[in-house]
């Protein structure tokens, strides 16, 4: 129940962030610099949040046909240390497990489907795995993601959808889907998003 409240508060805060217009179409955080690396490909160890976001963002109707950027919610990119600006109190576990860079993208699919896509760089595969394990245990995630072993990607039920978690190399992903009548349909779409993320991950 605690995890749901964190996710719910994030969704509410992200909506407020969009309404207030806090940032342009790509907002980059200004926290402390990382420790080397390029920042564009996943296992970066730090780097440029904007380049990271440009690597992982979904382009309108390209990688995921039928899905487009929500025009009311700008793409957010930043360092792990900037997460408190959009996840009040929910940022701590990400920092504790080593989040260096993050991207949040709000997408609109076939009505009424929506997605919040989260991509994060944890610097090392061990850190990304640790974050995945933490979330899996916190939410008692048990919704299978087609094509993925449960040790790599798993989901849990939310109202009219699922939230899927995955880790690939040093990258960690969350796919928050709503507007679905059953978990199996949402899990299929989560798998499609994760397949795209996999192609972008070094």
Show me where the domains of the chain are located: 2-200
pLDDT tens-digit profile, the chain (202 residues)? 333 333 433 443 344 333 333 333 344 443 333 333 333 444 344 589 999 999 999 999 999 999 999 999 999 999 999 999 888 778 999 999 999 999 999 999 999 999 999 999 999 999 999 999 999 999 999 999 999 999 999 999 999 999 999 999 999 999 999 999 999 999 999 999 999 999 999 8
Per residue, what are the HEC states of 53-98? HHHHCCCCCCCCCCCEECCCCCEEEEEHHHHHHCCCCCCHHHHHCC
Distance CA 28, CA 46 (A): 14
Distance CA 133, CA 127 (A): 10
Cβ atoms within 10 Å, residue 87: 20
Q: Does the predicted model carry a pTM greater than 0.85?
A: no
Distance CA 74, CA 70 (A): 7
SS3 33: coil
């Amino acid at each position: 129940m605690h995890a749901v409240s964190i996710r719910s508060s994030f969704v509410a805060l992200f909506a407020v962030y969009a309404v207030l217009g806090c940032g342009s179409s790509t907002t980059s955080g200004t926290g402390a610099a990382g420790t080397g690396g390029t920042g564009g490909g996943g296992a970066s160890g730090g780097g440029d949040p904007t380049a990271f976001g440009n690597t992982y963002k979904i382009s309108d109707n390209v990688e995921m046909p039928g899905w487009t950027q929500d025009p009311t919610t700008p793409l957010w990119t930043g360092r792990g240390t900037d997460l408190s600006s959009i996840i009040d109190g929910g940022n701590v576990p990400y920092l504790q497990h080593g989040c260096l860079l993050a991207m949040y993208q709000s997408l609109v699919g076939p009505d009424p489907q929506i997605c919040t896509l989260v991509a994060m760089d944890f610097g090392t595969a061990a850190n990304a795995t640790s974050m995945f394990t933490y979330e899996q245990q916190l939410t008692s995630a048990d919704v299978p993601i087609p094509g993925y072993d449960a040790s790599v990607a798993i989901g849990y039920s939310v109202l009219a959808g699922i939230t899927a978690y995955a880790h690939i190399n040093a990258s960690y992903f969350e796919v928050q889907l709503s507007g679905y009548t059953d978990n199996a349909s949402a899990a299929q779409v989560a798998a499609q998003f994760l397949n795209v993320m996999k192609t972008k991950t070094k």
